[in-house]
Each structure stands twice: as C-alpha cells, then as structure tokens.
A and B are shown apart, each in its own frame.
Chain A
Amino acid sequence: MMRGEGTLSRALIWTITCLGLAVIYAPPLYLLGVSFNPALQPALPHVADVTLKWYLALAGEKQLIAALEQSLLIAAATAFAATLLSLMAALAYVELHARRAAWFLTVLLPMFVPGVIQGLALSAVFQRAGVKAGLLTVIGGHLLWALPFAFIVILTSFGVVRRSYLMAAADLGANRWQQFRDVTLPLIRPGLVSAFIFSFLLSLNEFTRAFYLAGRQNTLPVVLFGKMNSGASPTIYAMSGAIFLLSVFCVGLVLANVLLKRRQPA
C-alpha cells in the first residue's frame, strides 16, 4: 500500500501529526523543565543547574499535602466503585441483545453533562437531602464522571472473550457464575486493571465537580487552581510537574500491561 504514495502528501500528514502532538505535549513538558530550575523566574534550567529543591519544598506545603491525601483517598474509592459498577454494566451489555444500544447510551450520557452543571446540581441534591459536603459527595460526583470511561475500557477488553469459549465451558458443565469466574474474568483482567487506574487518574485530576462538591477540605486540583490564580510560584510548577509525571507513569504502566498481555499467545 505504500508504493507510489505522494511523498509530499505524506510529509504534510506527518507534519500535522507532529503539530498535534506538540500542541498537547510541549507546554506541560516545558512546565516540567521549568520546575527543575533553581531561579524564581520561569525558564528552562541549564543542565548544570538542574535542582530538585522545589520538589523538596513541597513537603513543607501543609495545605497541598492535606489536599493530596484527600484526593488520593477519593480517587481510590472512586476507582474501586467505578470499576465494579462498570464491570456489571459491561456484563449486562453483553447479556443484552435488542436493548444494548440503549443501555450503552444510558451509561455514556453522564459523560456529556458539563462538569459545572453536574457538580452544581448534585451539590443542590445533596444539600436538600441533608448530606454534608465532603469525601462522599465528591466520590459520588467523580463516580459518575469515571463510569463511562471505565465502561468503555472494560467493554473493549470483552473483545477477546469469544462466545465459543463460554459455550465450551457450558458444555463441560460450568454454570454461568463458573463461566464468568474461570473464563471471562481472567480474560478481561487487563481491562479491569486499566479501568481502575484510569478512573483513579480521572478522579485525581478532576476539578470542576470537586469545586462544588468538596466541603471545607478541598481536593488537590481545587487548591492548585486557587494557587495558580493567586500568582504562580515554583512550588506550583513542582506540584504540577509531580502530578503530570505520576499520571504519565500510571498510563504507561497500563499500556505496557495491556500490550504485553496481548503479545502472549492466547
């Protein structure tokens, strides 16, 4: 298929691809570079000047640390709930036949509700119901945000579960629970792990919903947002850099996991 392709057209397509990647990656990578700069003014450090002092200074930022703890707790709870619920939703999707498109859309729709509206409306509901703003309310908001993503990830992993495997298991006398436990579950395990980590990161980085749903103890993005707007400081760069690195690392882990699993002969 490669023969005779217009070289110019291909060059154009590659240029646009690189432009897109640059737009996505250049700014955060620059920020990451700046976070290793000893000076107060934002600039890339010289190789000899690279320093971790702003990262070490993070340990002294009590407010940030408290917010980080809160965010990690919320993210873990969100990831657990989102993975469990979207596994159920995906199993239901596979079982359903005629109505599966409607079910798919039902699970996906929350993704399309703007964060501000979702957060504000949910906080109004919680207020009326007498639920105090705090950990649980943020988890509720984040669960709905992460659910569609986790659902799609798990659903994609169901692609390797052939109907013939389940039929073979059924012929050998496995009931549906045993089919699930011994055939489906091992096959979709990479999908479950991915869904968990992705939900975790979605929650960790979510800001607009948490803004309305967090009580007095703010989550990390909420605190960061306040600090970013009240004058940038190198510790903000360091905190941003640390979160960015952590996120990239986690996604890399998931992708490596999925790709390695795929390469093993089935």
Chain B
Amino acid sequence: MNRRLPPAFALMALPLLAILVLGFLPLMVVVVWSVWTWDPLTYWIRPDFNLGSYAAILEAGRWMVIVSTLGKALLTALICLLIGWPTAYAVHFLAGRRLSLILLALMTVPFFTSYLIRSFSWRLVLGRTGVVNDLLIHLGLLSAPLDWLLFSNFAVLVGLVASCLPFATFPLLLSMRRVDPVLLVAAEDLGAGFWTRLSTIVVPLTMPGIFAGFLFVFVMVVGSSTEVQMLGGAGASIVSVMINDVMRVANYPLAFAISSVVLLVIFSVVLAGNARFGLARLFGEGQS
C-alpha cells in the first residue's frame, strides 16, 4: 500500500463539483431567467432581457407576501430564541450529566423526523374537535370551540416555532459550552445574583450562538411552505407558496424574480452574520 492521500485541493474537487453543479449553477439559472421574458399566451419563456418580472412583484400584493414572510421569520426567530436560550441554559448549566444527555438526544431527534408529519399533527391538536378545544370545553372554560386555532396565522406561527426550535437551540448550546464556568463562580463570589450573572456574563458570551440561532430560524421560515400549506387559513401565503402558485402557469421569470429577491435577503443576512460572528468557529470546536 504505497498510495498517498491526495492533497487538499484534490479532496475538495468532488464535493466542490457537486456544490457547483447542484447548487451554484441552478442559482445562476434563477438569476438569469428572472430577467427573461414570459409569454402568457404560450406559457413559454424567451431569452429576451426584460425587467417586467421584477415590476410584477410590486403587483397583486406580491410584495406584501414578501414583507409578511420576513415578518413571520422575524417573529418566529424571536420566539424560538426566547424558548431556546433557557433550554440551552438548562441543558448546559442546570441539568446533571445523565439528564443533559437525555435532553440533548431529545433535541437532536426533531432534526431528522419529517416536518411534514410534525406540521400535520398540529391539525389534530388545534382543530375544532382537537385536543386543545376539547380540553378547554371539558374544563368549562369555553362553551363552543375556538375557530381561530387552526387554519390561521396563529396555527402557522405555532407550527413554524415547533419546526424551527431545534435550529435555534443547537447553536445556542454550542455557544454555552464556550462559557468558562469559572467566570460564573467568580461573579457569584463577588455577590452577583442569578439575573446579573445571566445578563452580564452568559448572554454576552453566547451572542454568537444567539445570532446563529436567529439566522437559522429566520432562513428556515423564509424558505418554509409546509406549515402554511398545512395550517394556514384560506388565502394564507408565504414566499415559497407564492412561488408554487406562480409556477402553475410555468411563469419561470416571475418565480425566479421572487426567488432572487429572497435569496438576496437570505445571503446578505448569512454573510453579514458570518463576517460578524464566524459561523465556522461555533461548529469547528476541537479543531486546532
């Protein structure tokens, strides 16, 4: 066996090729086709330069869908951080070794279960005859079931939080590991109370995790469609669903114009965040 391990650039070749062909090339197509012309008579596209698709984003309330998507993303990300941060804190600082392992396992599982099934299961919980309504009526708090629990913005928000929560918790957990416990003991010895220690030590030191968690959830929601399709009310929309709708008439230029705008937002946020906090540092733990 006198074979040698190939140098870095040779190892990079195959993954890079896959990323370029499967990831980068399609994105180029998105940008290029977004300025092509779509003929509504034949449902066909021509390679003639045309900014009409971008103008069409401003019509028919499409820009409103983009704005409301960003709003949903922002709100979901904030809620996920509000739940995820204490969770990460509990796992890392409060739980014993065995319990923290169990919690860690519980937080890993949702990444790899079907988000389709998880969204769908909320229908059984929030519906007119669902668990929540049944319980409230049973307890005598309601006389008739609440209608706005399902097929509403509320249901979409709940579904989104449930889907995205692990994406917030994980980076938070990684960043908690980088907090030196000695600092907390020192602060306590100097008389700092629980909340003082949190706000002056743990929160500032976990900022990279807070940002990464925010980023992941924000991006997930901007790209989500299942939650709206499963739980949203009539006419509820989100960018991905709107793209789906536009594609019913094979209007590639408009679908790709919307996509370009969305990708621009996502990549700006990701790159700005990466420049500020260095995502690699968060995951590259144990690397020399």
Contact = CB atoms under 8 A, between A and B. Distances in A.
A124 B222 contact: no
A100 interface: yes
Interface in B121-160: 121-125, 129, 131, 158
A147 B29 contact: no
B222 to A, nearest CB: 6
Interface string B255-285: 1100100110011001000100011100111
Nearest to A240: B117
| Majority secondary structure, B binding face | helix
Interface string A174-186: 0111111100000
Interface in A103-123: 103-110, 112-118, 120-122
Interface stretch (A6-14, A45-53, A60-68): A6-14
A86 interface: yes
B113 A28 contact: yes
Nearest to B198: A9
B232 interface: no
B109 to A, nearest CB: 5
A264 interface: no
Q: How large is the interface on B (under 10, 10 to 19, 20 to 34, 35 or more residues)?
A: 35 or more
Given A107-B19, A205-B116, A248-B109, A31 B286 contact: no
A198 B166 CA distance: 15
Contact of A201 (B12, B112, B239): B112
A172 interface: no
Given A1-B185, A143-B22, A221-B116, A20 B83 contact: yes
B87 A4 contact: no
Contacts, number: 279
A95 B287 CA distance: 11
Contacts of A214: none
Interface in B4-39: 4-5, 7-9, 11-12, 14-16, 18-19, 22-23, 25-27, 29-30, 33
Contact of A244 (B29, B93, B114): B114
Interface of B: 1-5, 7-9, 11-12, 14-16, 18-19, 22-23, 25-27, 29-30, 33, 82-84, 86-87, 89-91, 93-94, 101, 103-106, 108-118, 120-125, 129, 131, 158, 161-162, 165-166, 169, 181, 184-185, 188, 193-195, 219, 222-226, 229-230, 239-240, 243-244, 247, 252, 255-256, 259, 262-263, 266-267, 270, 274, 278-280, 283-288
17 contacts: A6-B193, A6-B195, A17-B90, A21-B87, A23-B158, A113-B23, A113-B223, A121-B256, A124-B26, A125-B26, A140-B22, A144-B23, A177-B5, A198-B111, A221-B116, A228-B120, A232-B123
Interface of A: 1, 3-6, 9-10, 12-14, 16-17, 19-21, 23-28, 30-31, 34, 41-42, 81, 84-86, 88-89, 91-92, 94-96, 100-101, 103-110, 112-118, 120-122, 124-125, 128, 140-141, 143-144, 147, 149, 152, 155-156, 158-160, 163, 175-181, 198, 201-202, 204-205, 207-208, 221, 224-225, 228-229, 232, 240, 243-244, 247-248, 250-252, 255, 259
